Structure 1
Amino acid sequence: MTHFGLLTLPQTGHLNTMLPLGQELQRRGHQVTLFGILDAQAKTLAAGLDFQVLAEAEFPNGWTAQKISQQAKLAGFAAFRYSVNWGLEITAMLLREAPQALETADVEALLVDQMLVEGRTLAEFLNIPFITVCSSLMVNWDRDNDIPPYFTRWDYNPTSSTARLHNQRNYLLLSGLGQPFLDLIAQYRREWNLTPHYLNHDENFSQLAQICQQPAEFEFPRQHLPPHFHFTGPYASSASRESVLFPFEKLTGQPLIYASMGTIQNRQFQVFRDIAQACMGLDAQLVISLGGGATPESLPELPGNPLVVRYAPQLELLQKATLTITHAGLNTVLESLSYGVPMVAIPLVNDQPGTAARIVWTGVGEAIPIAHLNVSNLRSAIAKVLSEDSYKKNALRLQAAIGRAGGVSRAIDIVEQAVSTGKPVLAQSL
C-alpha cells in the first residue's frame, strides 16, 4: 500500500473536499497523512486521518481565523487580492517546510489542492507522483478566452468578441496577481535544479490526473482541457466532518429555506438582515447558519424570527430544504444540487462569482451580485425560484448528473491507477 500525503488550504471548504478523499484511500488500505498548519488539525483528526503540523510557530492556532476576520471586512476585488496574498504566505511556507516533512514521513504520493500551484515542484523535488484536486471552482485557463475567468460573474458568451476581449483582459489581470507565486516557485526550482525553471499557470498541475468535484454539466463548455482531466462529482461526506449540535426540534415542518454565507465572508450582517426580511411572509421556515464567524447573540434581532445558529449540519438540513440562499461557495452549491435543491446566490469573493454564473447558466437558480443586493430584488429572486418549476427540474437534472459522475469512489479509482502505473489516466479510457 502507498503512503499518501494531502496538501490543501486550511479553510473549511477545502478541508471538506480533501478529507473524504483521504478517508477513501484509508478505507482501501493506504496510509494517509495531511500536512498543514495547526488550524487544520482538529478537522483532520476528527475525520480519522493522521496529521503532521508544519510551521507551528509561524502559523499558530487561530491564524486562519485571524485572516478570515480581516478578509470578512472587505468585499469585491480587495477581498480577492487579500486572499491571493494570504495564499502566497501558505505557498512560501510549504516550499520551505514541506519537503523535509514529507521525506521524513516517507510519503510516496501526493494529493494537492489545485490552488496550491507549488504541488508539481514539491513532487518533482521528492521524485514522487502527485494528483491535482480541484477543491474549488476549476481554475484551468482557456486559451481561446471563451471561458470567463473563475473570479468573474460574466456569462458564457463565446460568439461575442467583446466578451472574449473582457475575458482576455481579466486573464491578464489574474496573471499579474499570480506572478509572485510563479516567481517564488521558479526560485526554488533553480535551487533544486529542476527544469524548466519557469512554469506557466497550468503546467503546475498534475500531468498524471486532475480530478474535479464539479460534474461536467456544471461547467461551461470546455474545448481545451487536458486529456487527463476528470469531472468526478462532489466529495462531500458527513463522515469527514465534526458533529454539530442543532435544535431539530425547532423545525416547524414548513418548507425549509436554508441560508449560509459560508465561513469566510460571513460577517456582513446586513446581508443576513436582507435575507430575513426578504423571506418574511412566505409559508416557509428560514434557517440561517453563521458559519462560525459570529454567534446568534451578536446579531441584532432579525425580521421574521428565523432560526439562527452558529454552525449547522449542512448536509442534513439540505435533505429537508426547498431552497438554498448561498454565497455560491462551490461546496454548498454542489451539496445543494446533490439533493436537488435550487438556489439564490449572493456571491461575494474569490470563485463565488464564477460559481454563481454557472448557477444561472445551468438554470438551477438566480444570482444577485452583492453590490446590487436589496430586499426587493432578493424577494423577487426567491419568489421566482420557488414558483417556477424549471429551477427545481434543472436542480434534479444536475442531481442525476452528480449521481452518474462517481464522486469519491471514482476519484480514488483514478488516483490509484495514476500512482500505480505512473502514466496519465485519460478521461476517455474510463
Structure 2
Amino acid sequence: MSGFLFVVPPLVGHINPAVGVAAELTARGHRVAWVGPDAGLVRRLAGAEAEVFPCAGTIEGERPADLRGAEALKFLWEWFLVPLADAMAPGVRAAVDGFRPDVVVADQQAFAGALVAERLGLPWATSATTSAEFGGAYDGIPKVADWLRARLAELRERIGDPDGTADPRFSPHLVLAFTTPELAGPSDRSRVRHIGPSVAERPVDHGFPWEWLDPGRRKVLVSLGTANADVGGRFLAECVAAVRERADRIQALIADPGRTLPPAADDKDVLVRPSLPQLPLLERVDAVVCHAGHNTVCEALWHGVPLVVAPIRDDQPVIAGQVVAAGAGIRVRFGRVTAPKLGDALDTVLYEGAHRTAAARIRTAFRAAGGAPVAATHLEALAAEETR
C-alpha cells in the first residue's frame, strides 16, 4: 500500500479530474490525502470523507475583463499562480510531514506541490488538467518564454531546491495528461502519459427539473465555467436570443453562476440556473456552447457531443484551436459574436454531421485511453519504482 498526496489549487476544473484518480487509488487500498486552499471545495467534489490538509492561498485581485494574450498571461502568473505557490508552500510542507506520502501528485498550476516535493527528494507526478502548454504555446515568443522561466527560477529560490532543474509544470517522473493526441495532438515531452478524461460521479442535483427536457427538440448546454461569471452577461444574452429564434426545434440549458440573466418564469425554451448537473446533462444534450475550458471540452467530447467554442483567455484559445483542428466544433469570438452568428454555428453543429462524426471519433479515443484506472496504474508504478 502506498500513499498519494494530491496538491490542488482552489479551482473546480483542476480538482475534478483528480477526483476520479484519487477514488481509484482508494479503491485499490492505497492511502490518499489532499492539500489545497479550499478544503470545503475539495470535500464537496471528492466526498465528505476525504482527508484534506489545509493551506493558505487565494485568488488575488480581480482580473480586468479586457485582458488578453501576453498581458492576461502576465496577470495570471503575477496575481495568481506565483502568489498561490508562495502561500501554499508551508501548508504543503506540513501536509507532507503529516501524511508521509510516497508520491506527490501536483496539479500543473499548483507549483508548490512540485517544488516542495523536489526540495524534499520525493517523487512527484504532474496532474495536467490542460494540454495547452504541451505543444510549446509560448516557444515562438522568446520574450514570453524567458519571462516565464525567470518567474519559475525566482520561485524555486524561495520554496524549492535551488539546485533543482525540473520545470514544475512538467514532472520528469510522470505527467498525467487528461486528453489524447486525437484532440491535443502529439507531445514530444518525456514521461507524458495520455490517459484521456478522468470522469467521476458527482453529487446528484435532486432539484433539477428533468421533466423540463422536451424529447421533440434538440438540446444545447451553455456554460462559461465557474471562473468567468463576471464577464459572461453579454455572451449569454446572445445565446438566449439565438435559441429563441429557433425555439421550435431547440431548447437551451444555461449555467449562469453570476446571475447575469433575468429569471424567466415558466420558460419552456431556455432554462437558466446558477449551476447545472453537467455530466448527466451531457448524456442528453446535442451540442455544447462553452468558453473552451479544458474540463468542459473534454467532458463534452467524452460523450461525443460537438461544440461551439468561444475562448475568453488563458489556455482557452489553444484548446479552442484543438477542437477546431480536430473537426469537433466551431469557434466564435466571445467578445463580438452576435445572436445570428451563434445561431448559424449552432445550426451547423446540430444539423450537419461532420462535427458530430469528429466528436464521436474523439469519444472513442478518450474511452480507449483508460482514464482514472490507467492513471492510477501509472502512479502505482511510480511509487513502486521509487521503493525499489
Does the TM-score normalized on the shorter chain lie above 0.5? yes
Letter in 1 for 2:227: I
8 A Cα contact 1:43 1:242, kept in partner:
no
User: Which residue does 2:170 correspond to in 1?
Assistant: 205
Q: What is the CA deviation profile of residues 283-334 of structure 1, one whole-angstrom value per residue up to 9, with x for unaligned ones?
A: 01111012xx323xx5236799510011110000010011100111111111
Amino acid at match of 1:211: L
Do structure 1's residue 234 and structure 2's residue 197 form an aligned pair? yes
> 1:16-415, aligned counterparts within 5 Å?
16-38=16-38, 40-44=41-45, 46=47, 48-55=49-56, 59=57, 63-64=58-59, 70-71=62-63, 73-77=65-69, 78-84=71-77, 85-140=79-134, 142=136, 148-149=137-138, 168-169=140-141, 172-177=143-148, 179-189=150-160, 194-196=162-164, 199=165, 201=167, 205-222=170-187, 224-226=188-190, 228-239=191-202, 241=203, 243=205, 245-253=207-215, 254-267=217-230, 268-282=232-246, 283-290=249-256, 293-295=257-259, 299-300=261-262, 305-415=269-379
Deviation at 1:74, TM superposition (A): 4.5
Distance 1:175 1:380 in 2: 41
Aligned to 1:163: none
Matched AA of 1:357 = G
CA distance in 2, matches of 1:305, 1:377: 19
Note the aligned Cα RMSD (angstroms): 2.5
Instruction: After superposition, give the CA deviation of every residue in 1:324-353 in whole Å (9 maximum; x if it has no partner).
Output: 001111111111111110000011011111
- Quote the Cα distance in structure 2 between the aligned partners of 1:81 and 1:204: 16
Letter aligned with residue 155 of structure 2: L
**Unpaired segments of 5 or more residues in structure 1?**
143-147, 150-166, 425-430
Q: How many aligned positions are there?
A: 379
1:29-76 CA distance string (max 9 Å, x none): 111111111353442552642111113xxx5xxx55x85xx2374542
Percent identity (aligned)? 22
Partner deviation per Cα, 1:341-396 (whole Å, 9 max, x = no partner): 00000110111111100110000000112244222222221112122111111111
Alpha-carbon offset, residue 182 of structure 1: 2.5
Aligned-partner residue type, residue 340 of structure 2: S
Equivalent position amino acid for 2:140 in 1: Q
TM-score, length-scaled by structure 1: 0.81
Residues 4 and 407 of structure 1: is their aligned pair in 2 closer, same or farther, counting only changes over 3 Å? Answer: same
The answer to whether the 8 Å contact 1:275/1:378 transfers is yes
Asked if the contact 1:182–1:200 (Cα under 8 Å) also holds between the matched residues in 2, the reply is: no
Q: Distance in 2 between matches of 1:400 and 1:25?
A: 24
Alpha carbons of structure 1 residues 382 and 316: separation in structure 2 relative to 1, 3 Å: same
Q: Residue type matched to 2:129 in 1?
A: S
Indicate if the aligned counterparts of 1:218 and 1:358 stay in contact, CA closer than 8 A.
yes
Mapped to 2, the partners of 1:423 and 1:50 lie a distance apart of: 24
Shift of 1:411: 0.9
Matching residue's letter, 1:263: T
Query: Relative to 1, partners in 2 of residues 1:213 and 1:136: Cα closer, same or farther, differing over 3 Å?
Result: same
Larger mean CA deviation between 337-346 and 70-79 belongs to 70-79
TM-score by length of 2: 0.89
What are structure 2's unaligned runs of at least 5 residues? none
8 Å CA contact 2:55, 2:91 repeated in 1: yes
Q: What amino acid is the match of 1:99? A: R
Between the aligned partners of 2:373 and 2:89, the Cα distance in structure 1 is 30
Whole-angstrom CA distance in 2 between matches of 1:200 and 1:310: 41
Runs of at least 4 residues off by over 6 Å: none
Summarize the Cα distance change of 1:31–1:339 in structure 2 as closer, same or farther, 3 Å threshold. same
Relative to structure 1, the CA distance from residue 244 to residue 92 in structure 2 (aligned partners, 3 Å threshold; closer, same or farther) is farther
Aligned-pair CA distance for 1:181 = 3.1
Contact map agreement 2:219 2:252 (CA 8 A) in 1: yes
SS of residue in 2 equivalent to 1:370: coil
> In 2, distance between residues paired with 1:47 and 1:53?
15
- C-alpha deviation, 1:188, in angstroms: 3.5
